[in-house]
């Protein structure tokens, strides 16, 4: 699997806009002040059209991640996100033009402060790229074999993946496209936590991407309908298995076994908080107990995942009596 690294100024722009729309503060207060009116203008227009702005930002970001280059924003791209978000086809073109105009205002403000952002991103992602190239490929193969009990499908890992490196605003963050073999990651210069290096976050996202692609393909061929946006999610419908939670201890364990991170008790709680910010911290002990008693080695993966799902559900209902059966 070859990674194509992309210094994504467009995705950096969209994430800053999304951040401000969530009423969160950028480190650059003057930049926040400069783009705030345009962001508010877009939000107001969408709300007046009965569209949730948060949904549109997610879809627009997803459309950009799916590209294999630092694509320029366009009204057409904005319109695709609007239609995905439920906007009326009859008026989507005009709304898309207005959104694009506001985003261009934000882009000019960012470019004024960082005229060489693409070059800066290349410098910032260099250490992450080097660390991944040193350790990642071997760990990726090990994780795939563990998920598939030694025999992953030949097309489990795509031959080529686009990695969008973006300006850090959240002290380390990453995600994956719901459509293509593409991921994104904040180009931080140093690890947020030495116990959970950032290149492992990239391995995690690549693993999520492979699982999502396989799940989507399987559901499509079997006629099962599921949201592509939650194909690997732990908080989606009851038919979904907690893949993204389960592979967290798997990745850490394989990295520890290979001597890539300390083997005397890997930092599962830290990794869950960093890679799963929406997962309540109280569930970390449940995941750790599941891994120690079941994991993905004692029985077929689907069965192990169902047991983890049951344990997490029991925790939600305040039932601590869940027992794991490995026989």
CA 76 – CA 78 distance, rounded (Å): 5
On whether residue 323 sits in a domain, the answer given is: no
Residue 14: pLDDT over 60: yes
CA 164 – CA 170 distance, rounded (Å): 16
* 224 shares a domain with 158: yes
On whether residue 327 sits in a domain, the answer given is: no
On whether residue 325 sits in a domain, the answer given is: no
* 130 shares a domain with 25: no
Residue 37: pLDDT over 80: yes
* 312 shares a domain with 197: yes
* 169 shares a domain with 305: yes
* 166 shares a domain with 90: no
On whether residue 2 sits in a domain, the answer given is: no
Mean pLDDT lowest for which of 40-49, 85-94, 214-223, 248-257? 214-223
Q: Which of 62, 84, 114 is the last residue of a domain?
A: 114
How many domains, the chain? 2
Q: Which of 114, 141, 163 is the last residue of a domain?
A: 114
* 76 shares a domain with 158: no
Mean pLDDT lowest for which of 47-51, 192-196, 251-255, 262-266? 262-266
On whether residue 193 sits in a domain, the answer given is: yes
On whether residue 1 sits in a domain, the answer given is: no
On whether residue 224 sits in a domain, the answer given is: yes
* 35 shares a domain with 180: no
* 261 shares a domain with 183: yes
CA 136 – CA 156 distance, rounded (Å): 16
* 146 shares a domain with 182: yes
Q: Which pLDDT belongs to residue 11?
A: 97
* Domain hosting residue 34, numbered range: 8-114
> What's the whole-model pTM score?
0.88
Residue 325: pLDDT over 70: no
Sign of CA dihedral 265, 270, 271, 272: positive
Q: Which of 92, 114, 136 is the last residue of a domain?
A: 114
Give the model confidence (pLDDT) of 270-280 as tens digits. Answer: 999 999 988 99
Residue 305: its H or E element: helix 301-316
Query: Which stretches does DSSP call E strand in the chain?
Result: 2-7, 160-166, 174-176, 182-186
Residue 147: pLDDT over 80: yes
* 239 shares a domain with 126: yes
* 153 shares a domain with 100: no
* 220 shares a domain with 132: yes
Mean pLDDT lowest for which of 30-39, 124-133, 219-228, 260-269? 219-228
Give the model confidence (pLDDT) of 237-256 as tens digits. Answer: 334 789 999 999 999 999 99
On whether residue 326 sits in a domain, the answer given is: no
CA 207 – CA 271 distance, rounded (Å): 15
Distant-in-sequence contacts of 80-85, Cβ < 8 A, 24+ apart? 81/56, 82/51, 82/56, 84/59, 85/51, 85/52, 85/55, 85/56, 85/59
Residue 25: pLDDT over 80: yes
């Amino acid at each position: 699997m070859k990674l194509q690294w992309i210094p994504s100024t467009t995705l950096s722009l969209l994430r800053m806009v999304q951040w401000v729309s969530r009423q969160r503060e950028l480190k650059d207060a003057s930049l926040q002040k400069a783009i705030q009116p345009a962001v508010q203008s877009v939000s107001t227009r969408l709300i007046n059209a009965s569209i949730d702005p948060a949904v549109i930002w997610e879809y627009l970001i997803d459309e950009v991640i799916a590209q294999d280059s630092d694509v320029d924003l366009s009204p057409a791209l904005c319109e695709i996100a609007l239609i995905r978000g439920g906007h009326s086809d009859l008026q989507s073109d005009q709304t898309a033009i207005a959104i694009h105009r506001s985003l261009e205002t934000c882009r000019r403000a960012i470019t004024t402060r960082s005229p060489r952002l693409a070059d800066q991103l290349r410098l910032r992602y260099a250490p992450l790229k080097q660390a991944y190239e040193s350790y990642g490929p071997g760990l990726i193969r090990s994780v795939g074999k563990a998920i598939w009990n030694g025999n992953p499908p030949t097309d489990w890992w795509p031959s080529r993946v686009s990695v969008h490196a973006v300006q850090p605003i959240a002290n380390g963050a990453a995600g994956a496209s719901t459509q293509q073999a593409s991921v994104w990651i904040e180009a931080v210069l140093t690890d947020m936590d030495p116990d959970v290096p950032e290149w492992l976050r990239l391995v995690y996202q690549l693993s999520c991407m492979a699982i999502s692609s396989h799940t989507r393909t399987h559901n499509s061929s079997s006629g099962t309908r599921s949201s592509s946006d939650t194909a690997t999610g732990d908080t989606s419908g009851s038919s979904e298995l907690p893949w993204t939670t389960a592979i967290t201890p798997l990745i850490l364990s394989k990295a520890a076994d290979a001597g890539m991170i300390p083997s005397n008790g890997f930092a599962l709680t830290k990794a869950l908080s960093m890679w799963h910010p929406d997962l309540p911290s109280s569930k970390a002990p449940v995941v750790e107990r599941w891994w120690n008693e079941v994991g993905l080695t004692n029985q077929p993966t689907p069965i192990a995942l169902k047991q983890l799902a049951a344990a997490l559900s029991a925790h939600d209902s305040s039932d601590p009596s869940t027992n794991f059966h490995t026989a």
